[in-house]
Amino acid sequence: MSQIFPKSANAWARFSLFGLLLLIALGGWSILLLQRSDFVTAARAHVQQPIQFSHLHHVGGEGFDCRYCHTSVEESAFANVPSTKICMNCHSQIWLESPYLEPVRESFKTGQSLEWIRVHDLPDFVYFNHSIHVNKGVGCETCHGRVDQMPAMQQVASLQMEWCLDCHRNPEQYLRPRAQVTAMGYVPEGDQLEIGRRLKQEYKVLDAQTLTSCSTCHR
Amino acid sequence: MLVGLVMAGAACRQDMHDAPRFEPLEESDFFRDKRSARPLLEGTVARGHLRAEEAFYTGKVNNQPVVELPMPLTRDLLERGRERFNIYCSPCHGHTGEGQGMVVRRGFKQAASFHDPRLRGIAIGYFVDVMTNGFGQMPDYRTQVAPRDRWAIAAYIRALQLSRSATVDDVPGEERRKLETGGTPGASTSDEEGSTSHE
């Protein structure tokens, strides 16, 4: 009786074992990749807001400091969305006829809040505090990106834990002088690591062990 | 299978991501105005926050602007004032206080120049009063600038005004020597660079 499988089938069988391993590895790798992708983290997603507010125009064009509107960022865990009154500081006279601003005028007249859609939403089991970051020399730009170039606000970072830890392990990679915290397009005057190490000491930034302790962020 | 895994993953994420509590400014469907952050009733005073010192909080006593700064004038105070001025005042009044800020150039009513003789001679409390209550077309800044910062800004406005009539004799010895010898540009002007870097 003749053989069903030719002799080369032995080789194929061994190869396919490797193939299976490769397939499993590829599958695992693509899950890891997917987990970090913009699709899952919602980074760079377009968010439709009730008003087409442009940071590009207000920050990039007119040169407003972030703190003109986000007044609580230096003292509070939450960087507030400005009240309608703050919009009306200028828009009581500028772009008076603009239909884009109708919701702002309506809100100012009736006292009803504007319903902005939150772009950066950390999970509720993370305790994040804006003030400590800003006061220790973490720039707005470091996490929020070049807001002065964004016509519509979008999240640029993954906001995943490994992204937080990247800085919590080695904050000197990112620290900048306090006076430059709200600056956009900041370029360090010299070696970033050297400046970062000096600022870390000057601003009394805690050691990596404390900064990466579970209860620093999850409490 | 992959899709199933991702969906299962996504499902358990959201559950813990959105705990049943309100984040700041989150929408509430319980209150008619949809605010979970409840506005304070008028006249509410938090414990320890009674604003009894009239001069400090309003810039006025018996309806007259205060003449003296109610705190020691220090370099720190002036630097705080400069920082706050550049954030909150410069959009209209400009970084040098001439009233030609970006918002004015975009069509807002001409803002006052601090180098105007009327404002050069006015008591310092006047600026605090205007920041607190607004004046003419200028809205109030009471929610954006804290009371102590209003005084810091007022002090810095005074410094801006004085800078206009300053002479070489007002420059302290060390700095003056740098000026007279031509100096190294980086060393002698580093302070000015700090103040104009936002422009």
> HEC profile for chain A?
CCCCCCCCHHHHHHHHHHHHHHHHHHHHHHHHHHHCCHHHHCCCCCCCCCCCCCHHHHHHHCCCCHHHHCHHHHCCCCCCCCCHHHHHHHHCCCCCCCHHHHHHHHHHHHCCCCCCCCCCCCCCCCCCCHHHHHHCCCCHHHHHCCHHHCCCCCCCCCCCHHHHHHHHHCHHHCCCCHHHCCCCCCCCCCCHHHHHHHHHHHCCCCCHHHHCCHHHHCC
Assess whether A37 and A67 both reside in one domain: no
Taking residues A95-106, report their average pLDDT.
Answer: 94
How many domains are there within chain A? Answer: 2
A vs B: CB pairs below 8 A: 79
- Provide the CA B198 distance to its chain's centre, in angstroms: 14
Taking residues B103-125, report their average pLDDT.
Answer: 94
A214–chain B Cβ distance below 8 A for any pair: no
The answer to whether B2 contacts A124, with C-beta atoms less than 8 Å apart, is no
Most B-contacting residue of A69, A71, A106, A121 (CB-CB within 10 A), to test interface: A71
Give B78's pLDDT tier (boundaries 50, 70, 90).
Answer: very high
Burial of B57 (0-12, 13-18, 19+ CB in 10 A): middle
Q: A211 is written with which tokens? A: 């900064």
Tell me which chain A residues have a C-beta less than 8 angstroms from the C-beta of B109: 93
A26–chain B Cβ distance below 8 A for any pair: no
The answer to whether B143 contacts A71, with C-beta atoms less than 8 Å apart, is yes
- Closest CA–CA distance from residue B178 to any residue of chain A (Å): 23
Give A3's pLDDT tier (boundaries 50, 70, 90).
Answer: confident
pLDDT reported for residue B198: 40
pLDDT reported for residue B188: 41
Q: Which of A84-88, A124-128, A189-193, B10-14 has the lowest mean pLDDT?
A: B10-14
Which residue from B17, B83, B102 is facing A123, i.e. has the nearest CB? B17
Domain assignment present for A102: no
> Rounded to an integer, what distance in angstroms lies between the CA atom of residue A31 and that of residue B5?
9
Assess whether A74 and A177 both reside in one domain: yes
ipTM for the predicted complex: 0.88
| Pairing, β B64-65 against β B60-61 | antiparallel
Nearest to A127 by CA among A173, A161, A174: A161
pLDDT reported for residue A156: 95
Domain assignment present for A212: yes
Q: Where are the domains of chain B?
A: 71-187
Which residue from A63, A89, A124 is facing B102, i.e. has the nearest CB? A63
The answer to whether B91 contacts A68, with C-beta atoms less than 8 Å apart, is yes
- What mean pLDDT, rounded, does chain A reach? 94
Assess whether A122 and A212 both reside in one domain: yes
Please say whether the beta carbons of A35 and A27 come within 8 A.
no
Please say whether the beta carbons of A88 and B108 come within 8 A.
no
Nearest to A159 by CA among A135, A132, A123, A125: A123
B34–chain A Cβ distance below 8 A for any pair: yes
The answer to whether B107 contacts A86, with C-beta atoms less than 8 Å apart, is no
A117–chain B Cβ distance below 8 A for any pair: no
Strand segments (E) across chain B: 60-61, 64-65
Domain assignment present for A198: yes
Residue A147 structural domain? 55-81+116-217
Alpha-carbon distance values, A2 to A10, A13, A42, A111, A140 (Å)? 16, 20, 60, 90, 76
> Rounded to an integer, what distance in angstroms lies between the CA atom of residue B128 and that of residue B65?
9
pLDDT tens readout for residues B175-194: 888 888 876 554 444 444 34
pLDDT reported for residue B181: 81
How many Cα atoms within 13 Å fall on the side-chain side of residue A37?
10
- Closest CA–CA distance from residue B17 to any residue of chain A (Å): 4
What is the chain A residue with the closest CA to B140? A89
Assess whether A66 and A172 both reside in one domain: yes
Please say whether the beta carbons of A101 and A91 come within 8 A.
yes
pLDDT tens readout for residues A57-92: 999 999 999 999 999 999 999 999 999 999 999 999
Burial of B106 (0-12, 13-18, 19+ CB in 10 A): middle
Please say whether the beta carbons of B143 and A85 come within 8 A.
yes
pLDDT reported for residue B83: 97
Assess whether A157 and A195 both reside in one domain: yes
- Provide the CA B196 distance to its chain's centre, in angstroms: 16
pLDDT tens readout for residues B130-152: 999 999 999 999 999 999 999 99
pLDDT reported for residue B184: 57
Assess whether pLDDT exceeds 80 at residue A108.
Answer: yes
CATH 1.10.760.10 fits B71-187, yes or no: yes
Please say whether the beta carbons of A169 and A208 come within 8 A.
yes
Give B6's pLDDT tier (boundaries 50, 70, 90).
Answer: low
What is the chain A residue with the closest CA to B10? A40
Domain assignment present for A4: no
Taking residues A102-131, report their average pLDDT.
Answer: 94
In percent, the amount of chain B with pLDDT more than 70 equals 84
In percent, the amount of chain A with pLDDT more than 70 equals 100
pLDDT tens readout for residues B34-62: 999 998 899 999 998 898 899 999 999 99
Assess whether A163 and A64 both reside in one domain: yes
B109–chain A Cβ distance below 8 A for any pair: yes
pLDDT reported for residue B197: 39
pLDDT tens readout for residues A128-178: 999 999 999 999 999 999 999 999 999 999 999 999 999 999 999 999 999
Domain assignment present for A47: no
Assess whether pLDDT exceeds 80 at residue B5.
Answer: no
pLDDT reported for residue B1: 57
First-to-last alpha carbon distance for chain A, in angstroms, is 73
Bridge partners of B35? B27
